[in-house]
């Protein structure tokens, strides 16, 4: 339910936030909304299919997903397009593919199965668990960093830490990894002037409100203009070429302007409920693969949402990562929906889940087929 509400809200906000810029660039206010609708039309059936697949399939799929992710990240370095200081996209006709987004799903599946196999064999010594998890994560992170995408690197790092936390790695290991991550982040910031400007704008965006701090300032104006209940859906003023990337990175600001504080709190609550549901699955099931992958997916989706919303609110630096399920972009939406379909499949393995589903009876689709004479909820015995 949380996923459906966020997805529906996202479609409405993409239509509202992108309409002006889409009209200026394509001649139709619905251009980007139609693309997002196509991605949703593909993603929802994928989510439904994944919700019915066995756990064994996901364990197998992690290895080809990881290999394809590395291959795609290598390709983007050679044939990808650079925009806004980062080389992330591959253009396929009128659509763009961002390989770093499905790489998150690949890392979740591959890392979870890798650790689950080691744990099942009794080898749960953390030094053994780091190999080859750390090198594999490092390869993805280096590829993403070569494309100058610090935000996605941070999300990969959160997935990696979530996997180690679930298997019980010691606190001193987290300290060492955090130290290495901070050092790498400082180096990445130092070598790119635009990142240094972003850090300066983070501390005081109003000091350079027409330069490096422009997006942050316009986002704060949008949030502040919404008040308690917002200006009304579609009534944003900042989307009229004031706020850059209002349909993607800063869609939370447009949402706050149009739906107000109540709207933003609703989004925060929905992500909180989504995270609770995922962690509930991770805690209640006995399968180590499900525990690991469910926790890692929560770290990915909820962690990314936290970073995005924190950047809009000005409590975190701007990283350029989308708000899951809400922001414009099929490359982000499709892997997220697949991950949520997996969580639904895992939830069916919770203790008592099968009994609860059986007690609920047939769903609306099955009842509709029964009414049409195309199926029945009970089998009839034919006797002579």
Q: Are 352 and 62 in contact (CB under 8 A)?
A: no
Q: Nearest 5°: CA angle at 336, between 334 and 339?
A: 110
Query: What's the structural domain count of the chain?
Result: 1
| Domain assignment present for 372 | no
Per-residue pLDDT of the chain (384 residues; tens, 9 = 90+): 789 999 999 999 999 999 999 998 888 999 999 999 999 999 999 999 999 999 999 999 999 999 999 998 888 888 777 665 566 778 776 677 888 899 999 999 999 998 888 766 555 556 666 778 888 998 998 888 887 777 888 899 999 999 988 887 777 877 888 888 788 777 777 777 666 777 777 777 887 788 778 888 999 999 999 889 999 998 899 999 899 888 988 999 999 999 999 999 999 999 999 999 999 999 988 888 999 999 999 999 999 999 999 999 988 888 888 999 999 988 899 999 999 999 999 998 776 655 555 555 555 545 544 544 444 443 334 344
| Domain assignment present for 162 | yes
| Domain assignment present for 339 | yes
| Domain assignment present for 383 | no
| Domain assignment present for 382 | no
The DSSP line for 31-68 is: HHHHHHHHHHHHHHHHHHHHTTS-HHHHHHHHHHHHHH
The DSSP 8-state label assigned to residue 325 in this structure reads: T
| Domain assignment present for 303 | yes
Range of the domain at 240: 1-346
| Domain assignment present for 94 | yes
| Domain assignment present for 192 | yes
N- to C-terminal Cα separation, the chain:
48
Residue 91 vs residues 68, 71, 101, 380: alpha-carbon distances, Å? 17, 16, 15, 55
The DSSP 8-state label assigned to residue 207 in this structure reads: G
């Amino acid at each position: 339910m949380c996923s459906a509400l966020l997805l529906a809200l996202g479609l409405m906000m993409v239509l509202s936030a992108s309409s002006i810029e889409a009209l200026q660039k394509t001649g139709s206010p619905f251009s980007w909304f139609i693309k997002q609708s196509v991605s949703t039309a593909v993603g929802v059936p994928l989510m439904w299919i994944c919700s019915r697949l066995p756990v064994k399939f996901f364990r197998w799929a992690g290895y080809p997903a990881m290999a394809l992710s590395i291959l795609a990240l290598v390709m983007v370095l050679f044939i990808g397009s650079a925009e806004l200081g980062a080389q992330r996209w591959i253009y396929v006709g009128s659509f763009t593919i961002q390989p770093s987004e499905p790489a998150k799903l690949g890392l979740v599946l591959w890392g979870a199965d890798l650790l689950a196999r080691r744990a099942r064999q009794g080898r749960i010594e953390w030094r053994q668990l780091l190999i080859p998890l750390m090198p594999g994560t490092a390869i993805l992170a280096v590829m993403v960093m070569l494309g100058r995408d610090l935000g996605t690197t941070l999300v990969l790092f959160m997935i990696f830490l979530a996997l180690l936390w679930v298997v019980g790695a010691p606190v001193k290991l987290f300290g060492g990894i955090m130290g290495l991550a901070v050092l790498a982040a400082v180096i990445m910031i130092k070598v790119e002037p635009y990142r240094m400007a972003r850090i300066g704008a983070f501390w005081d965006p109003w000091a350079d409100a027409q330069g490096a701090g422009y997006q942050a300032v316009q986002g704060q104006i949008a949030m502040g203009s919404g008040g308690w209940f917002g200006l009304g859906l579609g009534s944003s003023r900042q989307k009229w070429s004031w706020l850059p990337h209002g349909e993607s990175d800063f869609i939370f600001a447009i949402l706050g302007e149009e739906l107000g504080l109540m709207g933003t709190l609703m989004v925060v609550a929905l992500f909180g409920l989504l995270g609770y549901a995922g962690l509930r699955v991770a805690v209640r099931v006995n399968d180590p693969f499900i525990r690991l992958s469910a926790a890692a997916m929560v770290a990915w989706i909820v962690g990314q949402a936290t970073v995005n919303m924190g950047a809009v609110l000005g409590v975190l630096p701007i990283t350029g990562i989308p708000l899951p399920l809400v922001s414009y972009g099929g490359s982000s939406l499709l892997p997220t929906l697949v991950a949520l379909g997996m969580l639904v499949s895992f939830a069916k393995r919770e203790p008592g889940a099968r009994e609860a589903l059986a007690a609920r009876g047939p769903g609306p689709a099955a009842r509709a087929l029964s009414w049409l004479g195309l199926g029945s909820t009970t089998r009839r015995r034919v006797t002579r």
